[in-house]
Amino acid sequence: MSESAADSPADHSPPRAQPQLRWLDLIPVVAITVAGIILVVAVLAALVRADRPLIHDNAETVALTATLLVYLAFGAGIAVALRRLPEPLQFLGLHWPTPVDIGRTLALIVPWYIGVALVSALSAVVLNGGREVPGNTRQLFVQHPRGLGILVLALLVTAVAAPLCEETFFRGMLFRLFRARGPLWAAVLLSAIAFGLAHASPAVSLALLPVFTYMGIVLALTYAWTGSLTNSVLLHGLNNAVGTIAVYAVLAR
């Protein structure tokens, strides 16, 4: 009598392990992003040499386009890093927003801004001599913004490209790497500090570091709570969109 399929040795083999994130996966992200920055700077330098007046007159569009290209390089690096995963979007918990996701984001935005205001006030006293902590959104507009086309381009950078790339890297990758090797509080704090360091430019004010670290903590906790990167992307994107529109409205007057 022949051996049944249920008794075959192949059916008793252990399940195949699913690929997981590794620290080495961060290398292509950094390498491709740096290469993208170098390439964008080289192209900008060539354009300035070719036609300086044209670049000067369109500095706003050029600067925003250059920033968008850097984010595209950042996203390309992330895509390369995640190529080993069979279903990277499912792994990250990234999906098209549902009404529940949108409602959750709208419910979080008010406490988010209250926290930002409190941390900003404390940081102003401790790190900025009592002066108001400046925002870095103003740096987005290098000239007096003209026309809604500039606003749309700015929103494409701040409310689409930045949240998708940054949430995938800082929460979807870095937070998960820390979480796989340590407690939740450490993963939240370490990924938030990395997020803060990446955003708090000394050219603006070091007092921004606690503010962006706070933001990183809330975004990481949101990701840990929901298990969905979509929720942190929405919260991040809404915050950036509000800031961008507000700065544009002030400067365009």
pLDDT over threshold 50, residue 99: yes
d(CA 114, CA 107): 12
pLDDT at 170: 98
Q: How many CB atoms lie within 10 A of CB 102?
A: 14
d(CA 78, CA 95): 17
pLDDT over threshold 80, residue 112: yes
pLDDT over threshold 90, residue 73: yes
pLDDT at 220: 97
Q: What contacts 181, CB < 8 A, 6 or more positions away?
A: none
Indicate the residue type of 72: L
Please give the DSSP secondary-structure letter assigned to residue 128. Answer: S
Taking 3-state DSSP, the helix, strand and coil percentages for the chain, each rounded to the nearest 5, stand at: 75, 0, 25
d(CA 75, CA 94): 14
- Report the length, in residues, of the chain: 253
d(CA 47, CA 54): 9
Please give the DSSP secondary-structure letter assigned to residue 207. Answer: T
CA dihedral sign of residues 227, 228, 233, 238: negative
Q: How many CB atoms lie within 10 A of CB 193?
A: 15
Summarised one tens digit per residue, pLDDT across range 194-225 is 999 998 876 667 888 999 999 999 999 999 99
What pLDDT band is residue 232 in, cutting at 50, 70 and 90? very high
In contact, 145 and 252? CB cutoff 8 Å: yes
Which element (helix H / strand E) includes 42?
helix 26-50
Among 160, 176, 183, 157, residue whose Cα is nearest residue 220: 176
